[in-house]
């Protein structure tokens, strides 16, 4: 069993990475393999809605999104980490996630998801809500901790002084490991729930 952790911060060893590392440490202690990948420094453009991915199975822009697809498909869990910029997740991370979730055609049901956010002061709660929506539209169970998954600080050293934030990351890692193992047990014993055919509607009337 393994978890992919994606660092959306342009700083490869900053506050967001520090929080992700704590989660990864706890997952490793519970026997879950982890891989932290850095995308925050990449030149990532947003989705243009061309829908070519529905024909080819990959994004028309051949960059880190397509490189990450096989890792995401093979993972039992996904943790996405982002710093807060102007009260929202990092724009590059949002562009990456839009395309990653939209272009990948494999079944994401029951992969376990968690988001982690980092801010100097404010904007964590709003950013946390935005990131969790990617999981919730993909039938991915969202892992909880004893508080919202956030840390505060301007430097990695500040983050480690945020005792409540560090504890929240540790509990998150432990809960994620338990949920992954529980879902794996359920798959082996009962299989996945039956697929419900999608229905797409809108509110325009002729």
- The model's pLDDT over 46-105, given as tens digits with 9 standing for 90+, comes to 999 999 999 999 999 999 999 999 999 999 999 999 999 999 999 999 999 999 999 999
159: pLDDT strictly greater than 70: yes
Domain ranges of the chain: 2-190
Residues contacting 49, CB < 8 A, separation 6+: none
Residue-level pLDDT at 158: 97
Are 92 and 81 in contact, with CB atoms under 8 Å apart? no
* DSSP, res 175: H
Residue-level pLDDT at 204: 72
- Nearest 10 degrees: Cα torsion 89, 28, 109, 95: 20
Are 193 and 172 in contact, with CB atoms under 8 Å apart? no
Instruction: Give the phi and the psi of residue 80 in degrees, each rounded to 5.
Output: -110, 125
Right CATH for 2-190 from 3.30.2320.80, 3.40.50.360, 1.10.10.10, 1.10.1270.20: 3.40.50.360
Residue-level pLDDT at 199: 85
Burial class of residue 181 in the structure, from the number of CB atoms within 10 Å of its CB (0-12 exposed, 13-18 middle, 19+ buried): middle
Residue-level pLDDT at 201: 84
- Please report the DSSP string for 60-86 in residue order: SS-SHHHHHHHHHHH-SEEEEEEEEET
Lowest average pLDDT, out of 40-44, 121-125, 142-146, goes to 40-44
Are 37 and 6 in contact, with CB atoms under 8 Å apart? yes
Residues contacting 78, CB < 8 A, separation 6+: 3, 4, 5, 6, 72, 111, 112, 113, 114, 135, 140
Question: How many CB atoms neighbour CB 40 within 10 A?
Answer: 22
* H or E element at residue 117: strand 112-119
Q: What percent of the chain has pLDDT over 90?
A: 92
Q: What is the pTM of this model?
A: 0.94
Q: What percent of the chain has pLDDT over 70?
A: 99
Average pLDDT rounded to a whole number, residues 97-125? 96
pLDDT band at 205 (very low <50, low <70, confident <90, very high): low
Instruction: Give the whole-angstrom CA distance, residue 34 versus residue 193.
Output: 27
């Amino acid at each position: 069993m393994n978890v992919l952790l994606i660092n959306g911060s342009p700083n490869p060893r900053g506050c967001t990475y520090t929080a992700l590392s704590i989660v990864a440490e706890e997952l490793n202690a519970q026997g879950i393999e982890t891989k932290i990948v850095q995308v925050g420094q990449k030149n990532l453009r947003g989705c243009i809605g061309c829908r070519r991915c529905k024909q080819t199975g990959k994004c028309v822009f051949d960059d880190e999104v397509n490189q990450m697809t096989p890792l995401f498909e093979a993972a039992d869990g996904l943790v996405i980490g982002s710093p807060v910029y102007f009260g929202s997740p990092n724009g590059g991370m949002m562009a990456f996630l839009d395309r990653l979730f939209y272009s990948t055609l494999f079944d994401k049901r029951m992969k376990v998801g968690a988001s982690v956010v980092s801010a100097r002061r404010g904007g964590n709660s709003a950013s946390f809500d935005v990131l969790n929506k990617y999981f919730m539209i993909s039938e991915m169970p969202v892992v909880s901790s004893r508080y919202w998954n956030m840390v505060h600080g301007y430097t990695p050293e500040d983050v480690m002084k945020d005792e409540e934030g560090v504890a929240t990351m540790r509990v998150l890692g432990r809960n994620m490991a338990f949920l992954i193992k529980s879902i794996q047990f359920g798959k082996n014993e009962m299989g996945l729930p039956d697929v419900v055919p999608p229905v797409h509607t809108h509110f325009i009337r002729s």
